[in-house]
Amino acid sequence: MYGAKASDMAIKKYSDKWLVDVYPNGRAGKRVRKTFSTKIEASRFEKFVLSAAHEGKEWNPGGRDTRSLSELILVWYKTKGSYLKDGPRRKKCLLDISEWLGNPRGSELTAKKFTEYLSYKTESGISEKTINNHLGYINAIYNYLESIGEISYPNPLAKIKPIKIDEKELSWLTIDQIKHLLKIIEDFSKNPHVLLLTKICLATGARWSEAEGLKLRHVRDGKVSFHGTKSGKSRSVPVSDELFQEIERHLREWGEFSFSLSAFRRALDQSGIQLPKGQAAHVLRHSFASHFMMNGGNILTLQKVLGHSSVMVTMRYSHLSFDYLSDAMKLNPMGKINDSK
C-alpha cells in the first residue's frame, strides 16, 4: 500500500481502543501513533497517513498551517466524510459555506465571521434547524481533524451556541380524519400506489420513503422489512393478514412502488385536513405513534418499531400514553376539589 512495507504499519487492539502505529516512510522516517474507538476509524486514519506519504506530504508538519478551509474540508471528506451516508451532500454544503466565507485559511476563521454567515442565512429565511446543521457540520470538521492530529489548533467556532429551537407541534390524524383521507384517495387519486402506501405508513409507522422502497422480497412471514432507513438500521414490523396479502398482491403485479408523494399531497389538500407548516406524509408516522401510545403501547416497543436510535426521540409521544392522560385528569388539584364536593 503506497510503497510502505507491511512491517512498517500496524493496527493493534490497545485496552478498549484501536492503536495505529505506523512508519509511513519506513523505519528510518517519522513514526505516527494514534488511538481510535473503532477499528474502522483506525483503518481510515492509517490509509490517510500512508496516502499522504505516497503523495510526498509530511504527516502533521510543523510551522504555520496555511491550508484553506476548503482544503481542510477535502481532507475531512477523504478520511471521514466519504464513509458517511450523506457524505457527498454534506461536502457540497461545506464547500458552499466556505465559498461564502471567502475560503479563508482554516486557522484564521473566526467566530465573528461565521456568526455573520449564520445571520445572513437567518435573514434569507433558512430554517433554524438548517442553520444549526451548518454550524454542526463545520464544528465536526475542526473537531475531527484536531482529534486525529491533522490540525494543531483548537476549533475556532467551539464557543458558538446553536439556536435553541422550540419543539415543533406534534400533529396526528384522528380516526375520522384517517377514514376521510383514505376515502378521498380511493375515490379521486389516479395514482395506483398512493392508497396502499398510506395504509402501510399508518399501520407500521414507516416514513413515506421507506414504504416506497419496499420490494416483494421485503414482505415475508406476516411482516414488512424496511432497509436503507434514516438510522441505517433495518427493521421489521408485523401487519394484519389482510394488509400483508394486499401488499404482496400489489408488488407481484407492479414489482415496486413508484414515487407517489405528490399524489398524497394532492389528496391531503383535497381532504381539507389542516396541518402545521412542513408536515405532509410524515403525519402518518406521527399518527401511528400517537395512536399506539394512546391505546396503551409501550414506549420501548414504539422506539424499536419506529427505528429511533435513542428512546429520548420517542419520548415526545409519551405524553399521549393512557396512564399519563388518566393521571393528569385524576391527580390535578381541580379534580381533588370536585371529589370533595
- In the chain, the amino acid numbered 315 is M
Q: How far is CA 325 from the centre of its chain?
A: 31
The C-alpha cell that represents 178 in the structure block:
384517517
Is domain 175-327 classified as CATH 1.10.443.10?
yes
pLDDT at 95: 96
276-332 residue pLDDT tens:
877 899 999 999 999 998 888 889 999 999 998 888 888 888 777 767 666 666 666
State the Cα–Cα distance between residues 142 and 190, nearest whole angstrom: 51
State the Cα–Cα distance between residues 74 and 147, nearest whole angstrom: 16
DSSP 163: P
pLDDT at 3: 44
Backbone angles phi, psi at 314, to 5 degrees: -70, -25
3-state secondary structure of 18: strand
State the Cα–Cα distance between residues 208 and 213, nearest whole angstrom: 9
Provide the residue ranges of all domains of the chain, joining segments of one domain with +.
6-54, 69-147, 175-327
List, by residue number, the catalytic residues.
207, 230, 282, 285, 308, 317
Sorted by sequence, the CB contacts under 8 Å of residue 128 that are 6+ apart come out as 122, 163, 165
State the Cα–Cα distance between residues 209 and 229, nearest whole angstrom: 9
Please give the angle made by the CA atoms of 143, 229 and 208, to the nearest 5 degrees. 125
State the Cα–Cα distance between residues 306 and 230, nearest whole angstrom: 11
Residue 10: C-alpha distances to residues 21, 34, 47, 50 (Å): 5, 11, 11, 12
- In the chain, the amino acid numbered 141 is I
Backbone angles phi, psi at 237, to 5 degrees: -130, 130
List, for the chain, all residue ranges whose pLDDT scores fall below the cut of 70: 1-9, 28, 54-63, 166-168, 322, 324-332, 334-341
Identify the CA nearest to 290 among candidates 211, 142, 173.
173
